[in-house]
Amino acid sequence: MMNNQLNGQINLAPGTLITGKWNKNKYEIKSLLGNGANGTVYLASGKTGDVAIKLSKDSTNITNEVNVLKKITQVQDSILGPSFIDVDDYINPATNECCYYYVMEYVNGVSLPKFIERNGMEWSSIFIIQVLSLLDKLHHKGFIFGDLKTDNLLVTKEPNKIQWIDFGGVTQIGRAVKEFTEFFDRGYWGLGSRKAEISYDLFAVTMIFIHLHCKKQFLKNGLGINQIEQVIMQTQTLNPYKEFLMKGLKGEYVSASAMKQALLMYEQKINATKKKKSKKDQATTAQTMNQTRQSKKQNQTANQSTQSNKHSQSTNQPRNSTSQNQKPNQSTQTRAGNNVHVKQKKKRFHWFETSTILLLMGLAYALYFYYQL
Amino acid sequence: MYKGKLKQILLITDGYSNHGEDPLAVSSLAQEYGITVNVIGILDENVQSGDGLKEIEEIARAGGGISQVVYTKQLSQTVQMVTRKAMTQTIQGFVNKELKQILGDSNSIESLPPSKREEVYEVVEDIGETVGLEVIILVDTSASMKDKLETVKESLFDLQISLNSRTGENAYSLFIFPGKHDDVDKLLDWTPKLEKLNTIFPKLTMGGMTPTGPALREALNYFNEQNYNRGNNSDDEQSIEWAD
């Protein structure tokens, strides 16, 4: 059977009972979950409870996805995705048309952008780290995810964990990527081939990170990596991650775990700056407090003191914020310098400690010898 | 089967043919020669429906290929998807033929139980990854295509990225219709890379009739000519084997 057109949606009303042609398992359609290029996904109830059913008029995609799902969820110790339940054919009794479908575990969760919108941007890095952990396991099995995008990531409840859905793009390493989405595809940006390589997935992860922060999928303008770099520069929350992201775009991470380590390091760095900033803020407030106290002593009138307080705050704050915004790089540099200093001090202290111990031991030994003589 | 090559004609147009022989007839003939004809119709952003592009579906059906009507901005995604899907479909066609010979006429991949089907598709996928592919691209250069040509170029580059990521070898050839003096002009001879389009496309003069039928005929002849040459010229064949 040749089909002349690309896939269309398969419409099934809630309550429709689907009986498999081969396995005779029954599923009752509950609601539409989504519709993509390769099929339509419904929530349904089966023997074991809620399941997700993906249907298509083309058996190719369904069968290929089943192949992939079976391969990557074979090993029980690591959960790499919703587990595979059933595969079968459905013949619509009204039209006598044949549909191909497979059944998998239903992942109940919210989309990643929605979760972040509700719970705050600080979650973004956590989920990216989780995605990288999943990817590392998948890569070790010899596959890449391929069509990695924000829409294919769900956050489950309690615990809040990332889970990926839609395995249509999963491709054996070394082959051509089967399915992709332009914004997350390095080929679209002119930054590499569509060969299934680890770096292909890591590029997509980088674009997911950028998408989460700048909240839109922009079209290419022909400038390639420079365009994305500009977006990173223009998005304030992406600024501190610039080097981390550029490495991902250029394909410089050798593995998902290497990228994960890098992100963890950046998080630490960024948190340290935040802490330092808050310390600075504390210091400035302390200063103003002192000033107010002094002014209180001098003038002994409450009105004047509050005025000066307000004044000092208003002059301090803008200066602070501008210096923070304009020179994030410098501040990281000086912080790095401070770290080195502390380390050196520590080193010297250690050296001092060991030498004293050695000296004492030597002395004790000498005394022992002297005694023996 | 691994050593064979898949042959496709990719027709990119935005309207009805209005000159020369019937494209449906040529397309049917192409299928007889084992050449798949895929057709992509480009829709203007401000046009609501593609009624005028019904012909493309018929051409693709006659040529055993896939057709798709898209807006300009979706062109890249579609061109590579249609090409790859048509490849899979052709390979499945071969497999189905074999199955019918072994198991009887009523059998196809779809009539196998799912577990057997999985094994067959795995083989189909293997072949799709490694098989050689030859594509003749036919680009409509009538006046209405003028502002779409840049996107067509982009989408062909994109197709190249996708296909050249496969293990199998690829060769492209590009014709435009109408040509400067004839119905059809050859712009690119067989090549594994399409980069030359960057210099060729800007120089094109657009306008004239839409001789879709003659263009398909030319592509068909070009495929057959090549076969004929290879068949007669033993030197050529040896050099290919040697290169492998």
Residue A260 to residue A132: CA distance in whole angstroms: 6
Of B99 and A129, the structure prediction assigns the larger pLDDT to A129
- With bands split at pLDDT 50, 70 and 90, how would you rate the model's confidence at A71? confident
Tell me the average pLDDT of chain A: 83
In the predicted model, is pLDDT for residue A339 greater than 60?
A: no
Q: How far apart are CA A6 and CA B85, in angstroms?
A: 9
A58: closest CA of chain B, how far (Å): 10
- Calculate how close chain A gets to B181, using CA atoms only, in Å: 34
User: Measured between alpha carbons, how far is residue A240 from residues A13, A230, A244, A326, A333 in Å?
Assistant: 49, 14, 9, 12, 12
Which residues of A are designated catalytic? 147
Tell whether B103 lies on the interface with A, counting CB pairs under 8 A.
no
Beta bridge partners of A98: A91
Output the pLDDT for position A199. Answer: 97
The tally of CA atoms less than 13 A away on the side-chain side of residue A229 is 10
Q: A64 and B57 in contact by Cβ < 8 A?
A: no
Task: Give the pLDDT band of residue A289 (cuts 50, 70, 90).
Answer: low
Does A312 have pLDDT greater than 50? no
- Using the beta-carbon criterion (under 8 Å), do B167 and A188 form an inter-chain contact? no
Q: What is the pLDDT at residue B1?
A: 41
pLDDT at A288: 63
Assess whether pLDDT exceeds 50 at residue B13. yes
Q: What is the pLDDT of residue A194?
A: 97
Average pLDDT, chain B: 87
Instruction: Please tell me whether residue A42 adopts helix, strand or coil conformation.
Output: strand
Topology adopted by domain B5-243: Rossmann fold (3.40.50)
Whether B211 contacts B175, CB under 8 Å: no
B200 torsion bin: left (phi>0), alpha (psi -120 to 50), beta (else): alpha
> Would the CB atoms of B165 and A193 count as touching at under 8 Å?
yes
Q: What is the pLDDT of residues B158-197, one digit of tens each?
A: 999 999 999 999 999 999 999 988 999 999 999 999 988 9
The CB density around residue A176, as the number of other CB atoms within 10 Å, is: 23
Per-residue confidence band for B230, with pLDDT thresholds at 50, 70 and 90? low
Q: Which residue of B has its CA nearest to A102?
A: B114
Residue B158 has its nearest CB partner, among A22, A60, A187, at A187
> Across residues A194-217, what is the average pLDDT?
96
What fold, for A17-105? Phosphorylase Kinase; domain 1 (3.30.200)
Instruction: Tell me whether B164 touches chain A (CB under 8 Å).
Output: yes
For residue range B84-137, what is the model confidence (pLDDT) as tens digits?
Answer: 999 999 999 999 898 888 888 888 888 899 999 999 999 999 999 999 999 999
Phi, psi of A110 (to 5 degrees): -105, 155
Per-domain residue ranges of chain A: 17-105, 109-263
pTM: 0.80
If one looks up domain A109-263 in CATH, what number appears? 1.10.510.10
What are B172's strand-pairing partners? B135, B191
Instruction: Give the pLDDT score at A18.
Output: 95
Q: Kindly tell me the burial class for residue B107, based on how many C-beta atoms sit within 10 Å of its own C-beta (0-12, 13-18, 19 or more).
A: middle
Beta strand extents in chain A (DSSP E only): 17-19, 26-36, 39-46, 49-56, 84-91, 98-105, 109-111, 143-144, 153-156, 161-164, 171-172
Contact status of B57 with chain A (Cβ, < 8 Å): yes
Predicted complex ipTM: 0.88
Listed residue (B145, B139, B138) closest to B207, CA to CA: B145
Q: Is A156 on the interface with B (CB under 8 A)?
A: no
Phi first, then psi: what are they for A85, rounded to 5°? Answer: -115, -50
Confidence of residue A242 (pLDDT cuts 50, 70, 90): very high
What was the pLDDT predicted at B49? 59
